[in-house]
Amino acid sequence: MSRTVRPPAFVVAFLAPFAAAAIVAGCGFFSNPPEPTSAPPSVSSPTPAPTPTPVPTAAPTNLVATIVLIAAIGESTDGTPSKVAWQGVQDAAGRLGAGSKLVVPTSMAELTAAVKTATTDGTTIVVTVGPDAAQAVLDNATGHAATQFFELDQTIPDGSPANVHGLVFDEAEAGYLAGVVAASLSATQKIGLVGVDKADIRTANYAGGLANGATYANPAVVVTVAYATRSDDPQMGRAAAAGLVTGKADAIVAMADLAGAGAMREACARKASVVALDTDASLVLPDVASCVVVSVLKRYDVAAREAILRYAARKPLPAGILFDVAGGGIGLSEFHQPVPQELTDRIAGVLAAMRNGPPRPTPTPESTPEASPTA
């Protein structure tokens, strides 16, 4: 039986499972506009009772002595998932008084060796990024129950050891935010998403959210998904984006893989606006910064930090932990282009509604174990 789980809001999400159903276009988050929330009536606070003098207790033993982050292969540029995750690791280590180390492998052999070294050295927590480290984690987790493994952007297979945890993100919410922005800015009322292929769950998650967000912003907007067929081919991404712009899409949404990098560059060359997913494209791809309106971020730093702190607090950890807007796991970069005040107000309202958490219109889909290579 699968160990993936279904999320509620973030604090609860840390304890709850995430759903395994993939979102499809046309149903999902906020198919109708988010309802505004009203502030509760103010009430008078009673006079507090005197605070009793606390009885000193012995400080609990810190479970976390050392944390190692093993980056995706060659991923060391600012703004990439690995560097953002490193910020979260350092934050957690500072709070806990633990040691921390960043390893940036340059090959699969180095990555596999780094996982083994961290495990046999007695590291308390090993954090990895993307699916490339998945097999090495499984090979080393068994027999090393004292080491906890946190895999960013990776779902955990059935039968995995209990000390392996996947930290994934609510891609439907991210797609929804991208759809609101892209549809609000489109003059042609046509926007496009460059995905991988129809079988890719990550593409389906983003596409479903994108369609609903676009419909909320402008019901007349047409959303088209073009497929690069491979996530690691920039030229295929360029071709997909070119087709969308030729079809009059003037706002292109793309992911932070090599195909997405190609798509963003092609969209920029053809004078289309770009809404980036996963990472801040203005940092990772400075040559397209002039075309990027905003990036919808997976907060790898938040995910890494909160998972580490939860373990240090001796709280239970499920096999899968999903991070969403409500818990700060999905967010927006700054707007890099001037946008109407109406759009900033609309986005603020959508974010406020998402932060209210469950109950939600539909279940959250399962995230896909897809890499986010650096362009």
Residue 135 is assigned to a structural domain of this protein: no
Return the pLDDT at 61. 53
Average pLDDT of adjacent 10-residue blocks, the chain of 375 residues: 36 34 38 41 38 42 89 92 97 96 97 96 94 95 95 93 96 96 97 96 95 95 97 96 98 96 97 97 94 97 97 94 94 94 94 76 39 33
Residue 119 is assigned to a structural domain of this protein: no
List the domain range (segments joined by +) for residue 187: 172-297+329-355
Return the pLDDT at 123. 92
Distance in angstroms (rounded) separating the CA atoms of residues 293 and 163: 40
Q: What's the CATH code of the domain at 212?
A: 3.40.50.2300
> What is the number of domains present in the chain?
1
Return the pLDDT at 306. 97
Residue 111 is assigned to a structural domain of this protein: no
248-295 pLDDT, tens digit per residue, is: 999 999 999 999 999 999 999 999 999 999 999 999 999 999 999 999
Strand 66-70 relative to strand 99-103, pairing: parallel
Return the pLDDT at 358. 58
Confidence (pTM) = 0.79
Residue 215 is assigned to a structural domain of this protein: yes
Residue 258 is assigned to a structural domain of this protein: yes
Return the pLDDT at 62. 72
Residue 365 is assigned to a structural domain of this protein: no
Residue 130 is assigned to a structural domain of this protein: no
Q: Which two tokens stand for residue 228?
A: 């690069």
Return the pLDDT at 244. 98
Q: What is the DSSP string of 262-306?
A: HHHHHHHHTT-EEEEEES-HHHH-GGGTTTEEEEEEE-HHHHHHH
Residue 238 is assigned to a structural domain of this protein: yes
